[in-house]
Amino acid sequence: MGEDGRREVEEAWYYISTSTAELREITKMERIGPHSHIQGLGLDDRLEPRSNSQGMVGQGKARKAAGMVLKMVQEGKIAGRAILFAGPPSTGKTAIALGMAQTLGQDVPFTIIAASEVFSLSMSKTEALTQALRRSIGVRIKEETEVIEGEVVEIQIDRSLTGATKTGKLTIKTTDMETVYDLGTKMIDSLSKEKVLAGDVIAIDKTSGKVTKLGRSFARSRDYDAMGADTRFVQCPEGEVQKRKEVVHTVSLHEIDVINSRTQGFLALFAGDTGEIKPELRNQIDTKVAEWREEGKAEIIPGVLFIDEVHMLDIECFSFLNRALEKELAPLVIMATNRGMSRVRGTKYTSPHGLPEDLLDRILIVSTKEYSPSELEQIVLIRAQEEDAQLGEDTLQTLASVARESNLRYALNLISTANMISKRRKSEKIEVADVKRAYEYFLDLTRSQEWLKGQAGKMIFEEGQQQSDDRMDQS
């Protein structure tokens, strides 16, 4: 890449830095998911697990281990390593991983994939894994940028006849000077989106075009009678209108890849449909990033890649991961599985947790255990609060015993359905009868399997499906 190529990559950061902010906004709007009650690992300063904190109950050893691992990540000591959470279904493996994600700082990347996502039609397995790994490595970039800051004197907008294009002028001043800028359509849109008026004090990032309203100028405080109570008044800035400022962005290697891959463009980040990225491009980007590090412009932040249901990966994926962990730029890889001894996919060999031995060798294993009745009760209660459901007398015990006899996840699902049933009969509380009806409408796995047996010959795809893989560990 020549001088020009380099500028291209640099421009990419600015686009990315705004688009990642928007992406975060989008992911924040999540509905009440099965783990939405988890806000962290619930550990104290000395990494000791509190019995019921941040939505977490029990599983103390695994939570503490998770906390220790995070500490090492934060101190930059553990890149290139791997952890495996192993334990029966519904023992909080995914929940603990999400608790870890919440504990890490805003700019430490944490990527979550289910192993089966790797098998997609649009890209090879190794490309899917490479993308996941590169999503989990952050690059913190320090940068000088030009900022225009001052009080708006006047905004003048001229529309073309069709209204499709707009041009305009922005007059902006400080206590010392006044400057007029020409405006294009994009900038006019940003200004009107922020509802910028004459008398507002604003800042414009010249490279990204981002407009920030800092407040209203004191000088204009008597212009209007009716002004919102929350209007913030600020002094008109002093000095130059245009200033240099240092800013810091964090983007992932994958985001830099996508933005610079000509065929995809940065919109692909939103669609999630990035296709394959050429290895040459990745090499160029890695070289560039290494240069930036040497120049002190960039810092690598190794993040975390969480691969859930990792036994679904096959031997090719495992050897690829093993090699990837040895590279210089590797994140911490956390895996979870509910398999005991089982076949490594793509081979005829059986191995602990369905992972090949060379990978097991470098892994720290953390086990999760079944919950006690009182822990199950507490988790059910936390979920009921999360879903704004009031539990009638004995309902808590009923749900907890379903959790014990069937499984926890099923019992938690019953809260939402029973809640709906109780609301339909205009009750404020979920009573045992509501849980019973939900229990009858929706089968748990054991009853579903019994029902399937009774349906012999009537359903399609029943033969050999389950034997073809080491699945159905509960059967």
Min. distance of Cβ 92 from ligand ADP in angstroms?
A: 3
- What does the alpha-carbon distance between residue 104 and residue 111 come to, in Å, rounded to a whole number? 12
The reply on whether position 406 binds ligand ADP by CB under 6 A is no
132 binds, among ligand ADP, Mg ion, none (CB under 5 to 8 A by kind): none
- Helices first, then strands: H and E counts in the chain: 15, 19
Nearer to ligand ADP, 38 or 310 (CB): 38
34 binds, among ligand ADP, Mg ion, none (CB under 5 to 8 A by kind): ligand ADP
Packed helices 315-326 and 125-135: angle between N→C axes, nearest 10 degrees: 40
How wide is the angle at C-alpha 381 spanned by C-alphas 380 and 382, nearest 5°?
95
The footprint of Mg ion on this chain (CB under 5 A) covers a number of residues equal to 2
Which residues, 335 to 364, sit near ligand ADP by CB under 6 A?
336
With beta carbons less than 8 A apart as the criterion, state whether 170 and 180 touch. yes
The reply on whether position 368 binds Mg ion by CB under 5 A is no
Q: What backbone torsions phi and psi does residue 114 show, to the nearest 5 degrees?
A: -95, 140
Q: Are strands 332-337 and 82-86 parallel, antiparallel or unpaired?
A: parallel
Q: Is the dihedral of CA 385, 388, 394, 395 positive or negative?
A: negative
Q: Burial of 100 by CB count in 10 Å (0-12 exposed, 13-18 middle, 19+ buried)?
A: buried
The reply on whether position 34 binds ligand ADP by CB under 6 A is yes
Min. distance of Cβ 400 from Mg ion in angstroms?
A: 20
Nearer to ligand ADP, 95 or 366 (CB): 95
Give the three-class secondary structure for 310: helix
- Interface with ligand ADP (CB under 6 A), residue from 16, 17, 49, 58: 58
The reply on whether position 94 binds Mg ion by CB under 5 A is yes
**Residue 91 corresponds to which tokens in the numbers above?**
């023992």
- Interface with ligand ADP (CB under 6 A), residue from 38, 79, 191, 430: 38
Letters for 411-450 (x = contact with ligand ADP by CB under 6 A, - = none) are -x--------------------------------------
The DSSP secondary-structure symbol of 311 reads G
The reply on whether position 94 binds ligand ADP by CB under 6 A is yes
The footprint of ligand ADP on this chain (CB under 6 A) covers a number of residues equal to 20
The reply on whether position 95 binds ligand ADP by CB under 6 A is yes
Min. distance of Cβ 162 from Mg ion in angstroms?
A: 54
CA within 13 Å, CB half, 414: 32
- Interface with ligand ADP (CB under 6 A), residue from 91, 207, 208, 395: 91
Q: How many CB atoms lie under 10 A from the CB of residue 184? A: 12
Letters for 361-380 (x = contact with ligand ADP by CB under 6 A, - = none) are ------------------x-
What amino acid occupies position 330? Answer: A
Q: Is the dihedral of CA 136, 142, 145, 151 positive or negative?
A: positive
The reply on whether position 67 binds ligand ADP by CB under 6 A is no
Nearer to Mg ion, 16 or 57 (CB): 57
Q: Is the dihedral of CA 124, 125, 126, 128 positive or negative?
A: positive
Nearer to ligand ADP, 38 or 330 (CB): 38
The reply on whether position 57 binds ligand ADP by CB under 6 A is yes
With beta carbons less than 8 A apart as the criterion, state whether 133 and 324 touch. yes
Residues in contact with ligand ADP by CB under 6 A are 34-35, 38, 55-59, 89-95, 336, 379, 408-409, 412
Residues in contact with Mg ion by CB under 5 A are 93-94
